[in-house]
Structure 1
Amino acid sequence: MKSRGSEPAGQAPVAGLPQGIQPPHTPHNPNAPLPGQAVAYAPTQASPPPKTTPTKTTLKALPTVRDHTTDQLNPSGDEYLPREIDEFGEKKVMANGQLLGGRTYRCRTFLVPNRGDRLFMLATECARVLGYRDSYLLFNKNRSLFKIIASQPEKDDLVAQEILPFSYRSRQIAIVTARSMFRQFGSRVIENG
């Protein structure tokens, strides 16, 4: 290649550019590999960048506040005791969970053997009706609900009542009292509520 006297060394003349205007000059890196050459990578000895994250991590726990209940269970051991009593709401439901005034629940209710005449609901069904992904989130977001894990005889009875399918006999089943669901969600668990 011939070089002209007016052009800097190492640059070829560029066609199409007017005389005197040079293309942008890219600095030459002597360590850069040429196209087609094999590149051997070696670990660099550069120091790591300074840390910008704080050294202490803050953990955000889910709220454990019980809105209107204490952490003590009632004498039958199936729901938390309320802190305050809503007189207007108490006129709509009986102590065993049966609704008054012709109201019906959006979830199926049932009796559980050896637990008296108290009405219960499946936690998974309540979660679905209320728009929760699963019963885990229902209980996690509503700490005033007491989760009861059904025993094997109770699950067998629920299968006999056709509340549970037979294949669920070996699964862990959470139930909750109908009264505590009404106390927590009110009209959201009532048909046309």
Structure 2
Amino acid sequence: MVQFRLQKQYPRHSPPHLIENQDYYLITAACYEHKHRLNTPTRRQELWNRLFETLTDQGIEVRAWVILPNHYHLLISTVEFKWLSQQLRLIHGRFARQWNIEDCCTGKVWCSYSDRAIPSERHYYTTLNYIHYNPVKHNQVQSPYEWHESSVHWYLKDKGREWLRSCWVQYQVRDYGKNWDNFSL
């Protein structure tokens, strides 16, 4: 994949935004080398608070989210990518500095973020389920309801467990993410 990006003259770790003008996007950011730098509930909550505040101040609607020890996912409404890139660099930079000081270390904390357009209702709800199931997928918990840094609790409160179950059955995750560019989910 890296060779493909270089051949196309794309940045090594920042894929281009090939599909714009969709209503929703999945934003993913990972810690450098997938190290567990978001290793406490406090760090995850602080990051979430800053992300939520920054996005909603600009009128961006956060539809789903999860923050894990080494990455996070956001399902958000339409965004201006140049602005988003700048804001994520600022947020990531602030926390990288803070965590390096707290951990008495130096070095890179974040990789650049990636985005995926959500072109259909099916893809939207499958993405919602993927985000909520992510803590289970990464062996953090046995049930999505056990992970506190996730929007699954918003949906549980607002829509109820039966709605979440129905959504899970109708829009199964299966191999979600395996073929990112295949929008026929």
Alignment TM-score > 0.5, same fold: no
Alignment TM class, shorter chain as reference: under 0.3
Give me the TM-score of the superposition, normalised by structure 2.
Answer: 0.26
| Greater relative contact order, per chain length (Cα 8 Å cut-off, separation 6+) | 2
Whichever structure has more helix as a proportion of its residues is 2
